[in-house]
Structure formats: structure tokens, C-alpha cells
Amino acid sequence: MRSCRRPRRTLALLGVLLLGLLPPASTAAEHGGPVRRVVIVSGSTGGIYYSYGLALARELAAATGVRARVVATQGSVENLRALVEGTGDIAFSAADAVTETGLPPGEPVGSLRAIGRLYDDYLHVVVPASSPVRELGDLRGRTVSIGSAGSGTELIARRILEPAGLGTGGIRPVSLGLGDSAAAMLRGEVDAFFWSGGLPTRAVSALAAELPIRLLPLGNEAASMRATHGSAGYRVATVPGGTYADVPQTRTLAVPNYLLVRADADPAVVAWVTRLLFERSRTLAEAVPVARSPSPRTAIFTDPVPLHPGALAYYRAIKP
């Protein structure tokens, strides 16, 4: 991420704001105050949500003493439910999953707030390099992992399969998480699997090191999805050649990822998390390269979820 130089006075005022909201752990300990804890709901252990969550938890503890427990989940839809139901405090989610929590219409967005837009997920449809499958329609009648139940991958897979005539009965679907999907492909038990994640995804890289793979081109389907679900933030995107071993450039579908909290989340914690996303982006990127992606100029675009006041305070403080 390109560094943003700010006037010293602005940075000093920002430091006072954030430090006033949340004193360091050492200060809390000296006064016998409780150490705050939060739960970050993430994703599968082989995916970027989980790695990003672990890295963010380390930075949050080092900066503030807030202890974050990172919980592996099935992904976006499960994370959103955890937020709304109060079993999670900070959640990663794809933009298209925001309205898919299974709760009454209007309630999820009403009870959720955003810290910021992080990076884009790229839809992967992975097949062995030797497979005769060349396009989405070739999956008809084949065994395909569409992602674990309650995941953002499952949501987007079903959305793209239905208009292609591969919904009910078109394929033999199985619901496996990322790690299990890759293992099943190595064993020859699935012909293809869906995955929606950042670039590169560690588990897909590991698979490509053991088994030559390809990604199916989805450019035409991406344009159709954008027309049908425009509010979900879908866009046509390209997986650069070499992202995975011997996999050429491939057109696909991308969707933004958000970091979310409940509307009643502690503004102090939210302000610190927001600050860390940008001021510690290089350190975060050592564990998860996409952490270089966020820019304050783009992070504020989290439609349809409004920004949390704690996050908004940070963005306003660094505004030129």
C-alpha cells in the first residue's frame, strides 16, 4: 500500500483520540482493570480470512492489550450470523453475503457496521490440468464441490450455476470446505471445486504444487452475474498468470470483502482495529499479502453496510 504522509499535528491528534479511547494494556494492568477480549470469526484454516484474522489479532494485542480469539468458520454467511447473534465480535465477510444471514429482511444490515473494505475475493473453479472440462457447462453430470454449507463460496457457486442450467440436478454437488475439496481432488473424488478467496490462496497453491491444475474462465458468467446481482459488488476480474504454478491468466468474477462489527461494538476497539489495518499493513502483509490492498480512499465504500463511528473517526482524522 502506498504510504500516506500526514501533517504531524493531524497524527498527534489522532493518537490522542485513539489512546484516549483505549489505554494500553500495561496501564490497564497497573490499575487492576480487566483485559478486554474479542472474538474474530474468520474462515477455513487454509483460507485468507483465517490468516488475516491471526495476523490482526497479534497486532491488536501488541498495540492495545486486547486479546482476540480467532475462530475458524465456514465463512461469510456463518460469520454474519455469529455477529448478529453475538457469538462473534469482528467478522470477515464478502459483500454479496450481507443479505444472506437467514434472519428477517432488513435486520442484518440494521445491526451491522463496517470497519472497512479490505480486498477482493476471486472466484476459483479449480480442475485438474488434464481434465476435459474447459468451461462451466462442461461440469454437467460431474461431481463438484460447491463449498461448505453456510459459506460465501457456496452462495456464489449456486448463484453462478443456476443461470448456467447447472442448478438442481445439473451436477452432483458435494459440500466440502477448501482443505477437504483440495484433498478430494488429489484422491480423484471430485472433478472440480469452487473457492472464493483472495490471491493467492495458500491451500490452492499447495494443491498446485502436488497436482497440475487449471482455473475455468468465467468472464461471460461474471458479466451476467453483475447484471443480475449488481448490488452485490460483483465485477469482472483477472487472476494473473503465475498466481498458481503453471496456471495461465484467467478471467473470472471478483467480489469485495468487508471487515464488520455490530452497531454496538466498542468504538475504542473499532478505532484501533481500523488504525492497525493501515498503519501496520506491511507487517500484516508478511502473513497475508492481500493486507497491502486496503487504502483509506477505497476502504470507506462498504455499501450497503454503514461505517461504524469508531472507524469513521479514524477516516476523518486522517483526511487531508
Q: What is the DSSP string of 198-251?
A: -SS-HHHHHHHHHS-EEE---HHHHHHHHHHSGGGT-EEEEE-TTSSTTPPPEE
* C-alpha torsion 183→184→190→194, nearest 10: -50
Mean pLDDT of the 147-175 span: 90
200: preceding bond cis by omega (within 30 degrees): yes
Domains in the chain, CATH or no CATH each? 8-119+257-318 (3.40.190.10), 121-256 (3.40.190.10)
Closest CA to 317 of 13, 5, 4, 45: 13
* C-alpha torsion 319→49→280→23, nearest 10: 80
Would you say the C-alpha torsion 19, 306, 66, 34 has a positive or negative sign? positive
Which region among 17-31, 60-74, 78-92, 210-224 has the lowest average model confidence (pLDDT)? 17-31
pLDDT-based confidence at 37, cuts 50/70/90? Answer: very high
Per-residue pLDDT reduced to its tens digit, 48-65: 999 999 999 999 999 999
309: preceding bond cis by omega (within 30 degrees): no
What CA–CA distance (Å, rounded) separates 87 from 202? 27
Mean pLDDT of the 220-240 span: 81
pLDDT, position 132: 98
Return mean pLDDT, the chain: 86
pLDDT, position 219: 86
Helices (H) and strands (E) in the chain, counts: 13, 10
pLDDT-based confidence at 103, cuts 50/70/90? Answer: low
Residue located via cell numbers 473470472:
252
C-alpha cell at 227: 447484471
7-13-16 Cα angle (round to 5): 145
pLDDT, position 205: 96
Residues 6+ apart with CB under 8 A from 96: 152, 155, 156, 159, 229, 232, 233, 234, 255
Task: Decide: 68 and 57 in contact? Cβ < 8 Å.
Answer: yes
What CA–CA distance (Å, rounded) separates 247 from 304? 35
CB-based burial, 158-185: b 16+ in 10 Å, e otherwise: bbbbeebebeeebbebbbbbbbbbbebb
For residue 16, pLDDT over 60 is answered with: no
Task: Decide: 155 and 100 in contact? Cβ < 8 Å.
Answer: yes
Residue 173 φ/ψ, nearest 5 degrees: -80, 145
Which region among 22-36, 181-195, 217-231 has the lowest average model confidence (pLDDT)? 22-36
Per-residue pLDDT reduced to its tens digit, 39-49: 999 998 888 99
Which region among 35-39, 44-48, 215-219, 240-244 has the lowest average model confidence (pLDDT)? 35-39
Per-residue pLDDT reduced to its tens digit, 251-299: 999 999 999 999 999 999 999 999 999 999 999 999 999 999 889 999 9
Which region among 13-17, 195-199, 207-211, 238-242 has the lowest average model confidence (pLDDT)? 13-17
Would you say the C-alpha torsion 231, 236, 242, 247 has a positive or negative sign? positive
For residue 100, pLDDT over 80 is answered with: no
pLDDT, position 87: 95
More reliable by pLDDT, 163 or 206: 206
More reliable by pLDDT, 227 or 276: 276
Closest CA to 269 of 43, 28, 12: 28
Strand, helix or coil at 279? helix
pLDDT, position 101: 57
More reliable by pLDDT, 121 or 319: 121
